[in-house]
Amino acid sequence: MKKIIALIALAASVAGVSAQNAVSSSKFLDNWSVGTDGGISTNLHEWDTPNGGVWGIQLTKGVTPVLSLEFSGQLGFNDDANWNAIRSKNAVDNFTVMGSVKVNLMNWFLGYQGQPRLFELQAKGGVGYMGMLYPESQTTAQHNSTVVKLGLDFDFNLGQEKAWTVSLRPAIVMRGCKEDTHCETKANCGAYSHNALAQLTAGVTYHFKNSNGKHYFTFAPLRSQSEIDSLNAVINNTRALAEKEREQARHALDEKDQQIEGLRKALSDCESREPVKEVSTEKSMECYVYFRQGKSTIDASQQPNVERIATFLKNHSEARVVIFGYASPEGSVEVNERLANQRADAVKNSLINKYGINASRIDAAGKGVGDSFSEPDWNRVSICTIQNEENK
């Protein structure tokens, strides 16, 4: 029996290697099937002994198109005479559980075609356990033992989807027997024919649908080496292009960060710079009032300059002041002209409303964008020129 088991294992290992590279890999839940069969059995030493009936179920996992693993259970009906001289009064005389290896001889020798053939031949070998069901008082009958089963499956795969298989299954079942067990006669314990029977069953099997959408193995998509090399070249070129674009984006971002930092520094310097309080000469008697960008209101820091003009006008009743408002070049022409007018009017209104200077002594007008200074920020200004009869 050990030699038989070794041969089964060898056949399974050889079959498992065959045809595995030709089909797509499957998940654990793929290629399962369930089946049932029934038939007759008879011993090999007394052909006149009444035959017994058998019925069983099978759960099968396809490993490759060549190799399958089968787990089965079988019941024997009025089958005791095939093993023992004493007949049992039970309807079910024995049960068998077995694990088997199945080798698809058609796919092994002729190759797998991508779907099952209409007719296929499979060789099967398995080892299991048989339990006898009758009273223990029948001491002359043989009890539980291990069994080995060898057989062939003649399979007919039906339907367009090959989901169903009808099978005819002849087999030889051999049971272990020792002289210290209860046999029909101790002289027959070692005889091969007293420990073997023949079975012939017929059955039907349903193959569950797989993740590939079929009820059977399908071929894996095969690609040539040149196609693989071409795809690898495309992938490498795409990666190189993406890396180049990322590097360019990083450089552009760095440049923008530098520009932003420069603008922030320029703004900080501008905000922290002390405004020019007064730029005048004895000859021109000019005074400057500076404004912030986009503003026409007089800052508190510029109010002393307006106060100087008002003080001079109060002390010199014959004096007049001409105020010209200017804007820096930022913005549109319309906006700059409006700001220039508003800045001139802001100084004029401050002299009138806050310091009580007569409006007839003040002339104010906007002059648009100024160019008196090279620094654009300084051209946001109202230039106040005092006209005094003594200086004419």
From the first residue on, what is the mean pLDDT of each consecutive set of 10 residues in the chain (392 residues)?
49 46 73 95 67 91 94 83 59 88 95 92 95 64 79 95 95 72 45 70 95 87 79 92 92 90 85 62 71 90 92 91 91 89 92 91 90 85 84 48
How many residues are given for the chain?
392
What's the CA angle centered on 42, arms 75 and 125, to 5 degrees?
65
d(CA 107, CA 15): 9
**Alpha-carbon distance 81 to 85, whole Å?**
6
Contact predicate 297/346, CB 8 Å: yes
- One-letter identity of residue 328: S
> Could you tell me the sign of the dihedral formed by the alpha carbons of 340, 341, 342, 347, in that order?
positive
CB 96 within 8 Å of CB 7 = no
The pLDDT of residue 87 is: 59
User: pTM higher than 0.75, yes or no?
Assistant: no
List Cα–Cα distances, 30 to 26, 33, 57, 210, 211, in angstroms.
6, 9, 19, 5, 6
CA distance 363 to 119: 116
Chain segment 302-335, per-residue pLDDT in tens: 999 999 999 999 999 889 999 999 998 888 889 8
User: DSSP strand E in 254-372: where?
Assistant: 286-290, 320-327, 362-369
CA distance 240 to 83: 77
The pLDDT value given to residue 237: 92
Q: What pLDDT score was predicted for residue 185?
A: 45
Place of tokens 């005048």: 280
For residue 84, the model assigns a pLDDT of 56
3-state secondary structure of 160: coil
CA distance linking residue 313 with residue 383, whole number of Å? 16
Pairwise CA distance, residues 112 & 15, whole Å:
12
Q: What pLDDT, on a 0 to 100 scale, did the predictor assign at position 212?
A: 87
> What tokens appear for 31 in the block?
């290629």
Closest CA to 327 of 372, 364, 360: 372
Rounded CA gap, 142 and 149, in Å?
19
CA–CA dist 85, 142 (Å, integer): 9
